[in-house]
Structure 1
Amino acid sequence: MESSVAVTLIGAPTDVGAGARGASMGPEALRVAGLAEALRALGLDVIDRGNLHGPANPWQPAHGGYRHLPEVAAWNRAVHDAVRAELRAGRVPILLGGDHSLAIGSIGAVARHCREQGRKLRVLWLDAHADFNTCAITPSGNLHGMPVAVLCGFGPPELVELGGSGAALRPTEVRQIGIRSVDAGEKRFVHAQRLEVYDMRYIDEMGMRATMEQALAGLDEQTHLHVSFDVDFLDPEIAPGVGTTVPGGPTYREAQLCMEMIADTGRLASLDIVELNPALDERNRTARVAVELVESLFGKSTLMREHQVRRRG
């Protein structure tokens, strides 16, 4: 990416949509791991807006199929407004979560911005989970398992219509990568909606390069690329600090290749980093890995490329 890229960090310190406590500490862990400094070292213009504010986690059981719906809605309204403001200012918003339910507000704002600008949208959902549950099929009621379904129009009105009337996304605008844990009812719903899913078996068989070539196919200069990066996308061997670990995720190098290929498109325009749980981490190791991957997402490559060699010659 070009060095003139301007990014804004927006903290959303809540675990109100999750089934385990601790993701509320994620934004600070990413700051401690040096996210802003790492991006500045790449030549980016970085502003940290600090943390948004919202209701505390009441830690109550599900009601009507949803846990903490009013609180999740309040946090997502704050996220939506903050992300939308940065997009209108021509900056790249980076949401520091917090749990993955916050993507409802973040992607809702991105989708609204794209509609207003007449741009196409592509969402890469990097996650161990499909997050396509509804109140009728959820085993837990935790809203961090529902954001993709909500964004596609399947959910309570106060979340579905957060970014305007109607669904924020069409299933054809989403590519899910790294999936390896899907609930039984959710699996049927994913198939029914024809969601494009590159699960771990696909990655094992085809390799990360072919997977990303397919997931990124068709991007053009009119496409806004949003990456929603759930840290549990990574194998827990390298990223233990998440509330819902699922073995068998991408290795460090596979994850780096994924990020580098996204960077190569030059289209990244907004980002979520979610579900980092320092309470379950080892000396902030997962946050440091996340920062390294985000560096790659913004153009830092492991190896010197041929065009760099030619420039030096």
Structure 2
Amino acid sequence: MEKITIIGLPMDLGQNRRGVDMGPSAIRYAEVVERLDSLGFDVEDSGDIMIGRPAQLDTSETKLNNLKEVTIGSRLLAEKVDAILGKNSFPLVLGGDHSIAIGTLAGASKHYENLGVIWFDAHGDLNTDETTPSGNIHGMSLAVSLGLGNDELVNIHGYSPKIKPENVVIIGARSLDEGERKLITAKEIKVFSMHEIDRRGMAAVIEETIAFFNEKTDGVHLSVDMDALDPIDAPGVGTPVLGGITYRESHLAMEMLSESGIVTSAEFVEVNPILDDKNKTATVAVALMGSLFGEKLV
């Protein structure tokens, strides 16, 4: 029986809208443990990593908001994910804003020679302290994992880079800053924008993604920002962008990834219950997790 270990990082300090720190609780309320149990997995919920909240939001000399707290949270999460994989369990991380991916990838990548990353997101999260328009670290997590940006973040868990640009696929992008566009071009990062999804269909996009990783990676981390979905289907996110991936397209993606067997760790982030409608977004996140772990309609 395959084992899944759930770990939450209820942190909203990587961005500037309160509420996403309640994401792990909302996902648990939507019965993620029960859902995965019903699929026959040995599920351990190891609870949440708790970090302190500053008395006032910190903008340091580096221009990065709450750098100290995000660094602490990332270090703790990296240690936890590293330990989970060391016990041959599948790490399922619940966010929290997308800055938590810094810790997840730092912990996961130590276990692979060439870890692939599927970045299921409306945004690229490829800003650095030099290009960020906001100072929010949740918009830098993929760049940090590539070894770009603030030294404290880049070197979390004692090594850098965590991943290679040629092992990254971004799916669902439709809101990229100028600095991110330049970095994508310079590093030749593979991006399936909404234009590509609309034109070619999700099935073709995922088939190409799977083939892309089968050729060169020994593990794949799936990072799902719920704002990848259209706000009609996932309204409870901090940075909604119209024209996103549909509910059904998202399920198809998860189902195909499940069938491929390539995903070795995952996180679901940016669920904000304060902005949600009757916990709809957390419920959708749990349904997507069900599809990722093999749930079928018939």
TM-score, L = length of structure 2: 0.96
Q: Give the aligned partner of residue 231 of structure 2.
A: 236
What is the CA-CA distance between 1:106 and the residue it aligns to?
0.3
Give the deviation of 1:122 after TM superposition.
1.3
The aligned residue for residue 222 of structure 2 is 227
Which residue of structure 1 aligns with residue 20 of structure 2?
23
The 5-angstrom pairing of residues 65-214 of structure 1 reads: 65-115=63-113, 120-214=114-208
Other-structure match for 1:10 = 7
CA offsets, 1:263-305, max 9 Å, x none?
A: 0111221111111101100110110011111100001122x3x
Q: Could you tell me how far 1:134 is from its partner in structure 2?
A: 0.7
Question: Bigger shift: 214-223 or 76-85?
Answer: 214-223
Gaps of at least 5 residues in structure 2 are none
2:79–2:157 Cα contact (<8 Å) kept: no
Aligned AA (2:127): N
How many Å apart are 1:205 and its aligned residue?
Answer: 0.7
Deviations, residues 64-119 of structure 1 (Å, cap 9, x unaligned)? 2211111110000010011111000000011111010110110111111214xxxx
The within-5 A match list for 1:286-301 is: 286-301=281-296
Cα deviation code 1:18-47 (max 9, x no counterpart): 121111000000000000000000001100
- Give the deviation of 1:55 after TM superposition: 2.2
CA contact (8 A) 2:23 2:269 kept: yes
Cα displacement (A) at 1:220: 4.3
**CA positional deviation for 1:253:** 0.9
CA, structure 1 residues 61+164, in 2 after alignment: closer, same or farther (shift >3 Å)? Answer: closer
Alpha-carbon displacement from aligned partner over 1:133-163 (angstroms, at most 9, x marks no partner): 0111111000000011101111112111113
Secondary structure in structure 2 of the residue aligned to 1:269: strand
- Whether the aligned pair in 2 keeps the contact of 1:263 and 1:297 (CA below 8 Å) is yes
Q: Supply the distance in 2 between the matched residues of 1:63 and 1:242 (Cα, whole angstroms).
A: 29
1:39-68 residue CA offsets vs partner (Å, 9 max, x unmatched): 000001100001112121542345322111
How far the C-alpha of 1:11 sits from its partner, in A, is 1.0
In 1, the alpha carbon distance for the partners of 2:98 and 2:260 equals 25
Indicate conservation of the 8 Å contact 1:15/1:22, yes or no.
yes
How many angstroms does 1:187 deviate by? Answer: 1.2
Distance 2:14 2:180 in 1: 18
User: 1:70 & 1:249 partners in 2: Cα distance?
Assistant: 33
* Aligned residue in 2 for 1:308: none
Unmatched segments (≥5 aa) in structure 1: 305-313
Q: Percent identity?
A: 43
The change in CA–CA distance for 1:62 and 1:180 in structure 2 (over 3 A counts) is: farther
Alpha-carbon offset, residue 5 of structure 1: 1.4
Bigger radius of gyration among the two = 1
Cα deviation digits, residues 156-189 of structure 1 (max 9, x gap)? 1211111333211110111100011001222112
Specify which of 28, 34, 38 is matched with residue 35 of structure 2: 38
Task: Name whichever of 189-198 and 203-212 sits farther off.
Answer: 189-198
CA RMSD of aligned residues (A): 1.4
State the distance in 1 between where 2:42 and 2:57 align: 38
Match for 1:275 among 270, 274, 279? Answer: 270
Distance 1:166 1:14 in 2: 23
The residue type equivalent to 1:5 in the other structure is: E
1:63 equivalent in alignment to 2:58: no
TM-score where L is the length of structure 1:
0.92
